[in-house]
Every structure is written in C-alpha cells, then in structure tokens.
Structure 1
Amino acid sequence: MIRYVLPVLAVFATTAQANENIADQYPGSALYSAPVEFIPGVFSAIGATAPPTYENSGHNNNLSFIVTGEGVVVINGGGAYVLAAALHDEIKARTDEPVVLVVNENGQGHAMLGNSYWAEKGVPIIAHEDAAAEFEDRGFQILEAMQGLNKEKAEGTYLQGPTETFSDAYIVELGDFRIEVRYLGPSHSAGDVVVWLPNQELVIAGDIAFHERMLPLFDDTNTLDWLDTWDTAFEPLNATYVIPGHGHPTNMDQVRLYTKGYLEYLRGKIAEHLEAGGGLAEAYYVDQSPYAHLDTFEELAAKNAGRIYEQMEFE
C-alpha cells in the first residue's frame, strides 16, 4: 500500500569528528551534538558513535528534520522525552514553522521512545507496521533499559507507538520537498525505513546504512536479506547524499564500504571458517582488522562474527 498525504546543494563541512570517547559534544543540551544543516532545509543532530550512556542521554543515533516551507518533518522520535524536547528547542531556534509529522525509522528505542513528547504536542507519528509491532512487543523492555540508563533524565518518557502505520511507502509533498518514506525490504531490524528526497538526491537512510561506527547485528538480523535489500532497492536510489542511521552525513561510497562491504567481508571470513571445519568458539576470533578503526569495534566485532556464524551454519 502506498499512502499519499498532503498535496545550491552544498555539503556543510563539519569539523566535529566521530569519536566514541567524547562523552558529550553539546553540554548545553540533552542532545549529543547540535543540529547541522547538511543541505538547504535538511538538518541532522549527529548522535554519539558509541553505545547509549547517561552522559549522552541515549542520543547515539541521528535525529534529523526537514524545514519544508510548509512545516517541519522530524525523522526519529528520539531515545527519550528529554531528547525529543531538546530537538524541538533546536527546531524552534531555526524556524517558526510547526512540526507537522514525525517519522520513526524503526521500532528501536532511539527511534520511538521520544514519541511520548511528540504525541503530547499532537503531532502525527508514522512508522512501518513491522516497526510498530516490534515496539508493541518489546516496548516495556526497551523503556525499562532506557530508564536504568538515563535515571532522572528518563522523566516524562512513556510508551507511545506511532499514530499511523504503513506497509510500503508514505509520501508527503510539502514546499519544495517530495518526502518518500519507503520500506525497501529486510535490513538491520524490523520495519527499517528510509526517507528519500528525490528532488534533492538525498536519503536519510536510517539503520540500513552505517558510517564511522561498526554496525551491530541482532539475533533476528538476516544479513543475506540485508544485502539483497541493499542491492535491489537501496543502491538503485543512486543517492548523492546520505545521512546514515549512525555517523556523520556522507555519500554512498562510504556507507557502502562500512555497511555492505563489512557484511560481505565478515560473511566471507565466516564462510572460510566453516569450510575449514571451524566451530562457533573460534568464529568469534576471525580477522576483522580492516574494520578495527571503527567506533564500537571492541563491543561488537566478536558478537557480530558469532551471529553470522550461527546464520551461515544453516544457510
């Protein structure tokens, strides 16, 4: 189902570097970093390329928004009420236009827990139907984990799913922007979507694409399906600009290297390991040194290798 609603591209060079050792780059706000205008009208507050912590208030993904001339579209509810409120403060400092829509990129906490703030403001919130189901199923666990992490900064956050779901695409035309929220197929987690701006050749990729930090694999992440979605639906967008789910805005070459390239590399190493008769215990230690410079490598590399081994053992 496709849902239609509402009838000088220059890259901003930011000097801030991704570094998981920097606890907070924007001490005056709950946000990890201040929003930067990547191309005219499209802003993103880049999250920490590190696991969620009390210091970064759980802001370890990218929170983006589009100032269309006819209202603001926010991409990601945020990982807590406090983050959504902080993002709204930054929006109001840049435009008088109201927020007219919030898009949840998936059913994870960093995409949906801040919905509690936006719902109080009466803003419509959309997500893919699978993301909504994931959040409904695991919401209490997600909320409890955030509360343990954020302590008093969790105040005001409650479980609020999207107010509307879709299965294929949700398309909005506002001002100079045609905003296509698309489900391209299975990737990182249930109901991952991208926000494609065809007129600007820019994709807000969500967790289908990673940059500067190692991607994590979940128990239910099917890497073969992810690669198929990449090749058949994401790559054909032929985007000039990419705002990934994690890491600074960049281009297709970079996210291809650190997402598709990493998945293909690790699957190749595990395939060699399986062919040699290797077991799970040894699989954790396959060589991933070409990606050792990425943030969260120490936290994720061995886990990723084990999960791919368990998948490929039965492929």
Structure 2
Amino acid sequence: MSKQFASHADLEEKVVSFEKLSDNAYAYTAEGDPNTGVFIGDDAVLVVDTQATPVMAQDVIHRVAEVTDKPIKYLLLSHYHAVRVFGASAYHAQQIIASRDTYDLIVERGQQDKDSEIGRFPRLFQNVESVPEGLTWPTITFEGHMTIDLGNLEVHIMQVGRGHTKGDTIAWLPEQRIMFAGDLVEYESTPYAGDCYFRDWPQTLDRLAAFNPEKLVPGRGPALKSADEVRKALAGTRSFLTDLYGSVNNGVAQGKDLKTIYRETYDFMKPRYAHWVIFDHCMPFDVSRAYDEATGHEHPRIWTAERDMEMWQQLEG
C-alpha cells in the first residue's frame, strides 16, 4: 500500500488538557484524539464518552477526583463507536445512558465496529487487553430527550438529528449554555463520516446552532470557549461535509467510478483540509460512505475489519 492503513502511522502521544468551563463542566481533550466531557453536580458526576479502554479511562477518573469528591454515577455514550465506549467498565457507574438508536446500532453492528476500530487505531487502544469481553451495553435508553439531575444541576440529554451516526446524542446545560456535542462537531479535526448521513448532518448542525451555545466540547479538537469559536467549529464541520458530498455527488452524476471519484475528491479537499487531524485516515471511509449515499444507499453499511482492508486497498493501494 502507498499509505499505511488508517492510523497505523499515528504513533505520537498527545498532550492531554483538562479544562474548567464552569463550576459544573470540564473538558478532557488531547490534541485531536477523542474528547470526554465531565458534568459535576452537588451529588454526582456524569461523564460523556469514556475513552477507548479502561486503562485510558483511569486518567479521566484521576483528573475528576482532583476537582470533586462526588461519585461518577452516570456515563453517557454520545454514540456507539468503540473509541467512545470501551473504557466504560473502569468507572463502575450506576447507569450507562444512550439513545435507543445507539442501542440498536450496538445490537446490529457493535462487535464488527469494535473489531474494525481496534484495527484502525493502534495508539488509541492502549492496553486493549484491559477491555472486557463482549460489548458496552446501556442500562438506560431514551428517545428524543431526557434530563439527569446531578444535584442542583440538570443535564439535558438530547437527540437533535442524524449526523455522524443515527444515534448521536448531545449533553446541554441550558442556563450556562455549555454543550458536549460528540462527533457531530469537530474543530480543526477531520469529521469521520463512514457511518454518517450526509444529507441530514448539515441540518442537524443548524439545530445545534439554534441553541446558541457559548461554550462547546467537540468530539475532537480543543474545547471552544466563546460563541465565536463555536460558530467557527459549526461552520467548519458543515463546510467539510458539504464540500466532500458535493464533490462525490457530482462524480456519481457524471458516471465516474469510486476510485476516480476518490482521487478527484481527495485532490479537491486537500488544499483546505489536509492540515486537519486524521485527514488521510478519514478520507477513504468518508468518500466510500458518500458514494454509497449518492448512489441510493440511505443507511450506512457495516464496516468490518475485512471490509476496511478491502476498501483501503482499492482506494489507496
């Protein structure tokens, strides 16, 4: 292969930041690696996205313990992807919350996704042997909207539309206007769109913008600490998606094959987005999904470790 598969060349350890957004909200970020959100009430803590392994989760747990003695009672899964959920066992939380759509995706494709992602991201699955057998299962599911009272702090948990997956879930503090958006929003990081809904995602971003967040933790990238930064992240995510899907859709309309469309779309996107984290990793997956959607496949096909390698060889071999 002309390029190493997925993120196999990504070996540099990232510097972790644990930033206070308010007395009740913290952002755990790592220079474009998957982010974790922390919400602290008078009685309990809710953690959004658990990191990829229990060993990696221990760093989150340690940092939470430095700022509060309240127990981590709740975990929220913003979606089903393995890098977000397989640290869950380390927290010994009372409840694991996810949307019903996320639960359904775990049933349908959770094991295949686990096997696929571990193969793609060697560095992100540090001490992968610490991941328990089986899958991370929610203990509470919801449809639409629910709230969790952490003690004088209500966290609103919502689905606002399909985007990165069909189960995407946000956490929102309305009085403080602080949001954890998961991978619906990225900042200076390439959106992974291999399981997405390209036609729906921009409208979902519009719904997020309507909340008028003043601070936002994206799925990847630094915590955004002003309304201007939030608007920039929303606009950047939207531009990437519409640019990529527009290029692919035009290629399909002209009757071009997937490999030709991939090369043309990569060359079109590179000048503007190549400096974003995991650009080379994401592009083959993103273009493959865009091609499927543009050719009439509404729902994402399941990625398996075998399909990953076949696709990569076809497009990058």
Q: Does 1:70 align with 2:46?
A: no
Determine the C-alpha separation between the residues in 2 that align with 1:261 and 1:147: 29
Taking the TM superposition and a 5 Å limit, the aligned residue runs for 1:139-218 are 139-144=110-115, 149=122, 150=125, 152-158=127-133, 159-218=135-194
How many pairs are equivalent?
276
- Corresponding residue of 1:23: 12
* Offset of residue 147 of structure 1: 6.3
In structure 1, give the amino acid aligned to 2:196.
T
Q: Does 1:260 align with 2:226?
A: no
Kindly indicate whether structure 1 or structure 2 has the higher relative contact order, using CA contacts under 8 Å at least 6 residues apart: 2
TM-score w.r.t. length of structure 2: 0.78
Q: Does 1:36 align with 2:26?
A: no
Determine the C-alpha separation between the residues in 2 that align with 1:271 and 1:152: 40
Taking the TM superposition and a 5 Å limit, the aligned residue runs for 1:231-270 are 231=206, 233-250=207-224, 251-270=229-248
The answer (yes or no) to whether the contact 2:19–2:28 under 8 Å persists in 1 is yes
* Offset of residue 298 of structure 1: 1.9
The answer (yes or no) to whether the contact 1:223–1:263 under 8 Å persists in 2 is yes
**Residues 1:133 and 1:274: Cα distance change in structure 2 (over 3 Å):** closer
- Corresponding residue of 1:312: 294
* Offset of residue 145 of structure 1: 5.3
Q: Does 1:300 align with 2:282?
A: yes
In structure 2, give the amino acid aligned to 1:106.
H
Q: Does 1:138 align with 2:109?
A: yes
In structure 1, give the amino acid aligned to 2:200.
D
Query: C-alpha root-mean-square deviation of aligned residues, in Å?
Result: 2.5
Q: Which consecutive residues of structure 2, in runs of 5 or more, have no partner in the other structure?
A: 1-8, 298-317
**Residues 1:207 and 1:226: Cα distance change in structure 2 (over 3 Å):** same
Q: Does 1:89 align with 2:72?
A: no
The answer (yes or no) to whether the contact 1:283–1:306 under 8 Å persists in 2 is no
Taking the TM superposition and a 5 Å limit, the aligned residue runs for 1:97-136 are 97-118=70-91, 121-136=92-107
Q: Does 1:221 align with 2:196?
A: yes
- Larger helix share, 1 or 2: 2
- Corresponding residue of 1:3: none
Determine the C-alpha separation between the residues in 2 that align with 1:151 and 1:273: 39
In structure 2, give the amino acid aligned to 1:137.
E
% same residue: 21
Q: Which consecutive residues of structure 1, in runs of 5 or more, have no partner in the other structure?
A: 1-19, 27-32, 50-59
The answer (yes or no) to whether the contact 1:80–1:113 under 8 Å persists in 2 is yes
* Offset of residue 142 of structure 1: 4.2
The answer (yes or no) to whether the contact 1:209–1:255 under 8 Å persists in 2 is yes
Match of 2:261 among 283, 293, 297: 283
TM-score w.r.t. length of structure 1: 0.78
In structure 2, give the amino acid aligned to 1:39.
S
In structure 2, give the amino acid aligned to 1:283.
I
> Which has the larger displacement, 149-158 or 245-254?
149-158
